[in-house]
A and B are shown apart, each in its own frame.
Chain A
């Protein structure tokens, strides 16, 4: 594993030179600016207009409702952008690079295949972690400064988004061993989309009290824990919110998220290890 830092350095330099970071920076600035504008206008509307009479009567706190919904949206945006970054940093690491002849000169060096894969994962995970935390932090600051609202939990959702993106990076690396770059990219985004849809079905299931839908969501959360992490993070931002405000939130697109339970983190770690072992085993046997 002596070679891991060399591979990490190589991967980071590759991103820097290929202007990946520049593109990400510019477009993320646009995303954050858009969020700022949205938050500004939304909280302005909350301040200026009277709450609907029914809401006032039920004691619904419109500021919390607005803040939590906006911040849930920003978390979805952060997750999505983090996933895009993770996928593109990893989707052609093995087969894609091998098909282009980029990989062979590297893997015949004594550092070995395992170090190459581990180094690639660590580089992608490090970049995505910094990215997710930065975007999350920016959105948090915007929500606080424009609406004086902050989520009930701050650290937990941030870590969970980071872990969700790391799970995607690991899946994408595993995919890159067997699939060509294009196929792997499609697969990663479809898996991501399927996970989100399953999560939404689960939320609908909660409201409708449908066991089947809840089961589908439950199984999906185990198979694709990035979804469970994201849901748990969403759930945590209104962890201390109760009463009719909580009920109103649950009807919104980001409010019905389910807590992950005590096994979420252990399972996430185990899952990353399992995916890693599968990727290493497949890579070790692969003809290049």
Chain B
């Protein structure tokens, strides 16, 4: 089966500005990939090309094997834009119904009820969009993206307006999507969130991927910290495999060992190192 999303040598120029300078990226079937990067790095541009909203200057993008922007590609994906608005006069239920029609989904009232429950809006079914808070609209946006059970989802900062409870709901939702085999490309500035849910992260800076891999692969050992009778001792630069030797050495020299921690670089440190001075 084709990868959920594939990008090869993708370039996007806006006049003299190069928003994407030759990006390669794969999101495998059922995989959850986090796309990180400073403001203006090109994350939304990449997603918009994938959705067919923006035309690439060069390179190729495929969604579930179909050329990005084609009807097949659009039928296979769901999208939550970074900046979106739904018409104020629709209710949550009507909006989902409209998208069911546009997507050709035969899910009916059952699908709508399930989606609203999934994002915690089951009580706002009849509420008009104009009477919803920003966060409620974002939840509705996520529900809208899931209409028609897409195989692949583009979520461009889906939690930017959510309260901590809402963020947690979305985390749970992403895990549920993973169980269902839906692949996701998630743009976010919330590193801790990405670290918690994503299988893989890619870091984009000035239109290029500067780091990519599983969070655990990207992490580098930072040192080993051991609690001994006299306090805490840090063995800087040591990794996990050296921990037994360190502990054995301490025990042999007569120390009492109460705890051992392997320290690794956090995603934040990896991120800041990868983007260097590109901080907006």
Q: How far is the CA of A6 from the CA of B98 in the complex (A)?
A: 8
B residues lining the A interface (CB < 8 Å) = 48, 51-55, 71-72, 74-75, 77, 79, 81, 83-87, 89-90, 98-99, 101-104, 141, 144
> Separation in Å of the A286 CB from the closest CB of chain B?
9
Q: How far is the CA of A285 from the CA of B56 in the complex (A)?
A: 11
Using CB atoms, name the residue of chain B closest to A6.
B101
Tell me if A108 and B53 are in contact (CB < 8 A).
yes
> Separation in Å of the A23 CB from the closest CB of chain B?
14
A residues lining the B interface (CB < 8 Å) = 2-3, 6, 10, 14, 17-18, 100-102, 104-112, 285, 287-288
**Shortest beta-carbon contacts, A-B, top 9:** A17-B89, A109-B102, A110-B75, A101-B85, A101-B84, A287-B54, A288-B53, A6-B101, A110-B74
CB within 8 Å for A108 and B84 given contacts A17-B89, A287-B54, A288-B53: no
Given contacts A105-B81, A109-B103, A287-B55, list 16 more A-B pairs with CB under 8 A.
A10-B98, A17-B89, A100-B85, A101-B84, A101-B85, A102-B86, A105-B79, A105-B86, A107-B52, A108-B77, A109-B102, A110-B103, A285-B55, A287-B48, A287-B53, A288-B48
Tell me if B79 and A108 are in contact (CB < 8 A).
yes
Q: How far is the CA of A110 from the CA of B98 in the complex (A)?
A: 13
Tell me if A14 and B89 are in contact (CB < 8 A).
yes
> Separation in Å of the B84 CB from the closest CB of chain A?
4
Q: How far is the CA of A108 from the CA of B153 in the complex (A)?
A: 12
Tell me if A14 and B87 are in contact (CB < 8 A).
yes
> Separation in Å of the A144 CB from the closest CB of chain B?
40
> Separation in Å of the B268 CB from the closest CB of chain A?
30
Using CB atoms, name the residue of chain A closest to B52.
A108
> Separation in Å of the B99 CB from the closest CB of chain A?
7
> Separation in Å of the B187 CB from the closest CB of chain A?
15
A288: chain B residues at CB < 8 Å are 48, 53-54
Tell me if A105 and B99 are in contact (CB < 8 A).
yes
Q: How far is the CA of A14 from the CA of B85 in the complex (A)?
A: 15
Tell me if A111 and B102 are in contact (CB < 8 A).
yes
Using CB atoms, name the residue of chain B closest to A105.
B84
B89: chain A residues at CB < 8 Å are 14, 17-18
Q: How far is the CA of A17 from the CA of B72 in the complex (A)?
A: 33
Tell me if A6 and B54 are in contact (CB < 8 A).
no
Using CB atoms, name the residue of chain B closest to A284.
B55
A18: chain B residues at CB < 8 Å are 89
A108: chain B residues at CB < 8 Å are 51-53, 74, 77, 79
Using CB atoms, name the residue of chain A closest to B55.
A287
